[in-house]
Amino acid sequence: MIRACSTTLVKNVPLEESLKYFEGVFPFIELRIQEGHFLVDDIKRIKYLKQKLNKKRIKAVSLHQPMRIKDNIIDISSMDEWERLYSLREIEKAVIAAQILKIDRLIVHSSAKINEEERYKREEKLKESLIELIEFADKYGIKLYLENLSMYKLGDSIVWLDKLRNEFNNKFEICFDTGHWLIGKQNPLDINKYNHYHIHDNNGIFDEHLFPHDGIFPWDKLEFSNGATVVYELMPSEVPGKEIGRIKDNKL
C-alpha cells in the first residue's frame, strides 16, 4: 500500500513553494490542478516541476483534474456543448502533463452539480466524453480514475459508477472517496475492492475533509489491499507540516 497526501492541503499557495513541507518527511503526493496553485498551461513550468520533484525525492502518484479554470466550470457531462468541449480540452492537457511528470493516474469528476431532471441526458454526454478521453489517455499511457462524488452529481452512487465501468469494459478505474460516500449515506457494500482512495472524514452532512476518525466514517469496515494507493485529501491548513506529521503517524 502506498500512502500519499493530496496537495489540496496546500492548494492556496504555489505548488513549488509547498514542496518544502513534504521533502524528507512524506515522499508521495497527489497533485491538484488549481489556479494559484498549479496549472498545466505552461510546458516550461511542468518540466521545471518534474526536475524539482526529482531533486526533492518526492513522487507524484496521481494528478487531479481542475474543478474550474477562471470562471469556467470543468464538466464533461455538460449539456452546453462549448462547456463540455472546453472541459475535455482542459482534461486532455492534464493527461499530457501527467505523462511528462511520469504520473500514470488522472482523477476525473463525472460532472459538476446537476439538475436532476437532466441526469439521463447528462449520463449520455458523459459517456460521449469518456469515449474520447479514454482513447486520448491510452495514447499517453494514462489511466483515468472516476471519483465517486457528493450528492446531486453524476457519480454520487458508487453502484452506478461500478455499472458504468463494466459498461466500458473496465477501461477506466474508480477512485473511492470516503467523505463523498458518507455524505451520500450509501450502504456499506464492498468498499475494499478499489485500488485508489481519497480518504477524509465528515459528520455525514457537509464535505468537511476532516482527518480520519475526526468524523463518523466507519473506518473499521475499510481494509486496503496491498496494491492500493491511499491519498489523504484534507482541507488547506495554516500549519500543513503538522497535518503531514499526523498523516505520517496515522496507522489506518
Residue-wise pLDDT tens for the chain (252 aa)? 999 999 999 999 999 999 999 999 999 999 999 999 999 999 999 999 999 999 999 999 999 999 999 889 999 999 999 999 999 999 999 999 999 999 999 999 999 999 999 999 999 999 999 999 999 999 999 999 999 999 899 999 999 999 999 999 999 999 999 999 999 876 666 788 899 999 999 999 999 999 999 999 999 889 888 889 999 999 999 999 999 999 999 887
* pTM of the predicted protein model: 0.96
Give the H/E segment covering residue 126. Answer: helix 119-139
125: domain CATH number is: 3.20.20.150
How far is Cα 29 from Cα 195, in angstroms, rounded to an integer? Answer: 16
Nearest to 97 by CA among 40, 34, 31: 40
Please give the Cα distance from 220 to 30 (Å, whole number). 25
Q: How many domains does the chain have?
A: 1
State the pLDDT at residue 187.
62
Q: Which domain range does residue 157 map to?
A: 2-249
Give the integer Cα–Cα distance in Å for 49 and 183. 35
Query: What is the structure's pLDDT at 225?
Result: 82
